[in-house]
Amino acid sequence: MQCWYMSGAGNDFMVIDGRGLTLDYAALAKRLCAITGADGFMAVDHSDVADFRLHFYNSDGSRGEMCGNGARCICKFAYDHGIAGQTMTVQTDAGLVPGWRLGPDLYKVKLNNPGSLDLSRRPDCAYAELGDPGVPHGVRQIPGLTWDMADRLREEAVSLRFAPEFPKGANINFYDWVDETTVRILTFERGVEDYTLACGTGCGSTAAVLWAAGKLPGGKLTALNRGGTLEVTVEGDDTITAIYLQGPAETLKTMDV
C-alpha cells in the first residue's frame, strides 16, 4: 500500500487512498503515524454528496470530526491525484467542507460554522465547537505567550483538555496578541495528547472567539504557529456565517507501507 506523508504548516499526516478498500482505520492510524511521528491519519473515500469523503483519525487511533490543516492537505492530495478539480467539496464527520487550490502548495478551506460558541464556559477559558457535531476547542489568552513556555504550560493544558466543562474533551489553544490582527498560538491536541506545530480548527476557533468578543472587528486574523503561519477570515453580522482557513499544504514524501 502506498502512503503519502503530508504537512500543513507543520501539522503532519499519513494519507492513503482508501477508495474501494475495507480497512481497520483506527489500527492503521496508530501503525502509520508511529512511522513518522505524525499527528494524524487520513483516508480518501467515495462520497455520494461531495467530491470525496475524508476519514480522519488522530495518532492514537481515535476518530476526529474534522481537521482544518488536514482538510487543506487532503484537498491537495485530491487535486494532485485527479480526484477533484481546483474547487472541491469534502465530506467530513462535522459536515461538508468546501476547498480551493490557490497555488501548488497553497490551499484554502471553509471551516464549519460554530455549532457551539461560549465565551464563558469556564471563567478562564472560552469554548468553540466548529460543526455540529464539531471539533471541540478551549481558547485561553496567556499574556506574554512565547514558544518556550510550552513545557511550563503543559500541566495546565492537560488539565483543561480533560476539564468537566468540556464533555467531549477539548483541544486547548493558548494565544496572545502580537499586534491588533495577529496572535501567537500554541495548541495542545486531544488524540495526539501533546502540542502540535499547528492546528487549523484551533486557529479558526480562536478567531471565532475573538470575533464574538468584539476583538476582531475586521474579521481577519493572522495566526503564528510554531510550524507556520495561517490566515483566518471570519464573516458575519450578528452571527458567524463563514470561517475560512488559508495556508501551506505540502507532500513531504511517498512511501510503501
Which positions are annotated as active-site residues?
67, 199
β-partners of residue 62 are: none
Cα–Cα dist 150/224, whole Å: 15
Q: Are strands 134-141 and 240-248 parallel, antiparallel or unpaired?
A: unpaired
Q: Is there a cis peptide before residue 167, judged by omega within 30 degrees of 0?
A: no
Decide: helix, strand or coil at residue 213: coil
CA 166 from centroid of its chain's CA atoms? 18
Contact yes or no for 107/88 (Cβ under 8 A): no
Extended beta strands in the chain, E state: 2-8, 11-17, 40-45, 52-58, 87-92, 95-103, 106-111, 114-122, 125-131, 134-141, 171-179, 182-189, 194-196, 220-225, 228-236, 240-248, 250-256
